[in-house]
Amino acid sequence: MAGMSSSPHRSLENLFSALFLTSVCFTGTLAAQEKDKPQKPPVSDAVLNPLAPRPAEAPPLPVPPELPDSGFPVDVNEYENPLLHFEGAPTDLSLAEELDADLLPPISPYLPGEPAEESPSVTPEQQKLMAMGARVATSVMGVRVWDSFGVLLASGIGSYVTADGIILTDAGLLHPEIAGKADYITLVGADGTSDRVSGFYIVDTVSGVALLQSENMDSIPLDLNPGQDFGQEQRSHVLAMSEKRGLVLAEARVQSDSAITALGWLNVRGDDSPGAVGSPVLDDEGRMTAMIGMQVPLKSWKNYALPVDAAALALRQKRAPLRPLKDLPKKPGVGDVVKDPAFIEAFQTLEQKLFELALRKLIQLTRKYPRSAECWALLGLCATHLGAAPEAVNCQRKAVALDPKAGLYWHQLAFAKLRDTPTTAEQTEEDRDALIQAVQQRPNDQVAWLLLASRHVRDGELTKADDALRRVTLLAPEYAQAHYLQAYVRGRLKDYTGAQTAISQSLKLNSSSSEAWYYQGLLFDKRNDPREAAKAYRNAVRLRPDHPQAWMNLAHAYKKAGLGTEARQAFIEHQKRNKNAGA
């Protein structure tokens, strides 16, 4: 655990915390009643021109006004990068998770010898898909990396690409942090047969190409189809395998990402199984056009792939000598990246809030270290401060794909997504999924709990919202606006006693909130206590004289209390405010 207490890592956490605390102010501006939004830093045309256009202001969430600038700290929980420490149960490791292929049925529901074409339920398209699956089944292997104690370090997919047993997989499965622990690699075929890897030729984290040699020297290779133009979206198939379900073939759409932060990666989208790191992406002829390099662990799955051009080039060149697994590249590890002078320089530039200059430095740094979650997270944070929300989302997705145990990165993904203008129903779920991941990894993250509660309110999941707000008020008991939102939620749940307790606490902490007094008046009205309701409404209009509904409610409260003169005066004020609003 000493690794993360070193100066570069601690400084990195301090930077994330400091810059993100600045970003937290955005959370408060999500209220519908806000007036003074913080201005985005000016950005020159030279920087904005290559970036995606700025989206419109994010739609307001039902979070009450203004998070304070202080008194609501972001707790990073002394986060340590799990790639540095392979201790504990194997299930603690993000790369060792089982591939969940239960989303799809097996490639064919028929036993060997049964004529699938006779079934009226099988369409010609399905027959073609099953034929493709049968043709490529023997070329795909499950790849598992083990340490000397039999602990699973990483798992993914590999594909035979030569007849003498060379396997192509993604270099991320043999990340330098993993390579230092790796002892042997096993291969499991779709039919359950198993082999071992005898050595490697290339493991390059920049190109993503890893060429391994199987002990099986008689293999059926996949055909590579390099040189594809992914400028237009292509219909493709992501191939993966599971020991539980066998071969799984999922429909996918692949397209080049035009964002400046794409850095050559392809966007892979689909509705079914996302495959795994190293999964081949096939065209309709069963040829491999790309390979999954990063898998974002979201319900609405999103993967990033690299074209097979670099792999095809490596196979055409003179074959390097076969090397033993003990010689797998041990650098650059996480510690090497953060000690790189270029990283330190970019870090300091971002710390000084020179965001345009930092953007350029971080883009170059991320090209150098495309498998560094730290680089992607910093680049995404920089894009957020420049107002380029789509770019920020792009980067933070890669950060969580590379380090899914980092709750801070999930927090930043949710924040970036909230600033991005959602365009589809699928996209609108991403901020909620990211917030759920954030609070799971960082249970003391008050801001993430508050945003999650607000999201649950928008989704109509009031019980979940109340549970989240309990966590907020436990972690930040002096935060008045959390008690206000809790009162609103409990009122919607018809727990008026609980709502009264929450609104009273909110007003005790902040008696200058007009909306809290207005809600207090509504609760007194509900209890048929017009005099107390009138007091609350008077406070509301005193703090916000242009609140027409409060004037109307005040008039009704006076009338119920038998105060006719006061009721008429309040009603006149209501009419005056409505007239002014109409003008």
DSSP 130-182: HHHHHHHGGGEEEEEEE-TTS-EEEEEEEEE-STT-EEEEEGGGG-HHHHTT-
57 or 491: which carries more pLDDT confidence? 491
Secondary structure class of 301 (helix, strand, coil): coil
Whole-number Å distance between alpha carbons of 227 and 66: 52
- Answer yes or no: is pLDDT of 419 > 90: no
- Answer yes or no: is pLDDT of 275 > 90: no
Q: What tens digit of pLDDT does each residue of 467-503 get?
A: 999 999 999 999 999 999 999 999 999 999 999 999 9
pLDDT at 363: 94
In order of 474, 500, 501, the CA distances from 491 in angstroms are 20, 8, 11
Secondary structure class of 499 (helix, strand, coil): helix
pLDDT at 27: 38
Q: Is the distance from CB of 413 to CB of 393 less than 8 angstroms?
A: yes
Give me the residue spans of the domains in the chain: 93-330
Phi, psi (rounded to 5 degrees) for 398:
-65, -35
Secondary structure class of 304 (helix, strand, coil): strand
Which of 549, 553, 558, 551 has the alpha carbon at shortest distance from 523?
553
49 or 434: which carries more pLDDT confidence? 434
Q: ω into residue 332 within 30 of 0, thus cis?
A: yes
Of the CA atoms within 13 Å of residue 95, those in its CB half-sphere come to 31
pLDDT band of residue 269 (cuts 50, 70, 90) is: confident
22 or 250: which carries more pLDDT confidence? 250
The answer to whether the Cα torsion of 398, 412, 449, 430 is positive or negative is: negative
What pTM value is reported for the model? 0.73
pLDDT at 480: 93
Residue type at 266? Answer: L
- Answer yes or no: is pLDDT of 395 > 70: yes
Q: How many CB atoms lie within 10 A of CB 464?
A: 16
Residue with tokens 């009704």: 556
pLDDT at 166: 96
Residue by residue, DSSP assigns 219-271 as --PPPB------SS-EEEEEEEEETTTEEEEEEEEEEE--STT-TT-EEEE-S
pLDDT at 133: 80
Q: Is the distance from CB of 63 to CB of 481 less than 8 angstroms?
A: yes
Whole-number Å distance between alpha carbons of 61 and 213: 53
Which of 395, 211, 382, 190 has the alpha carbon at shortest distance from 291?
211
pLDDT at 88: 32
- Mean pLDDT taken over the chain: 79
Looking at the chain, the whole-number percentage of residues with pLDDT higher than 90 is 54
Q: What tens digit of pLDDT does each residue of 174-211 get?
A: 999 999 899 999 999 877 889 999 999 999 999 999 99
Which of 365, 325, 306, 4 has the alpha carbon at shortest distance from 143?
325
Averaged pLDDT for residues 424-442: 79
- Answer yes or no: is pLDDT of 60 > 70: no
pLDDT band of residue 4 (cuts 50, 70, 90) is: very low
Whole-number Å distance between alpha carbons of 278 and 185: 14
Q: What tens digit of pLDDT does each residue of 328-376 get?
A: 999 998 889 999 999 999 999 998 999 999 999 999 999 999 999 999 9
28 or 379: which carries more pLDDT confidence? 379
In order of 60, 306, 327, 371, 568, the CA distances from 254 in angstroms are 33, 10, 35, 21, 66
Looking at the chain, the whole-number percentage of residues with pLDDT higher than 70 is 75
Averaged pLDDT for residues 125-138: 80
Cα-Cα-Cα-Cα torsion 239, 242, 247, 252, nearest 10 degrees, comes to -30
Helical ranges in 325-354 per DSSP H: 334-339, 341-351
Whole-number Å distance between alpha carbons of 442 and 407: 5
Structure tokens belonging to residue 276: 């795994």
Whole-number Å distance between alpha carbons of 470 and 439: 13
- Answer yes or no: is pLDDT of 18 > 70: no
Of the ranges 13-27, 295-309, 311-325, 428-442, which is most confident? 311-325
pLDDT band of residue 463 (cuts 50, 70, 90) is: very high
Residue by residue, DSSP assigns 535-575 as HHHHHHHHH-TT-HHHHHHHHHHHHHTT-HHHHHHHHHHHH
Angle between helices 389-402 and 373-385 (to 10 degrees): 160
- Answer yes or no: is pLDDT of 225 > 60: yes
Whole-number Å distance between alpha carbons of 560 and 563: 8
Whole-number Å distance between alpha carbons of 574 and 299: 48
Lowest mean pLDDT among 39-53, 266-280, 437-451, 557-571: 39-53
pLDDT at 129: 77
Whole-number Å distance between alpha carbons of 270 and 276: 13
Helical ranges in 478-529 per DSSP H: 480-492, 496-509, 514-526
What residues contact 444, with CB distance under 8 A and at least 6 apart? 75, 77, 475
pLDDT at 302: 77
pLDDT at 538: 95
Which of 284, 264, 310, 3 has the alpha carbon at shortest distance from 132?
284
Averaged pLDDT for residues 40-62: 35
Q: What tens digit of pLDDT does each residue of 61-108 get?
A: 333 333 333 333 333 333 333 333 323 333 332 222 333 333 333 444
Averaged pLDDT for residues 18-39: 39
Which of 178, 214, 209 has the alpha carbon at shortest distance from 197?
214
Q: Give the architecture (CATH level 2) of 93-330.
A: Beta Barrel (2.40)
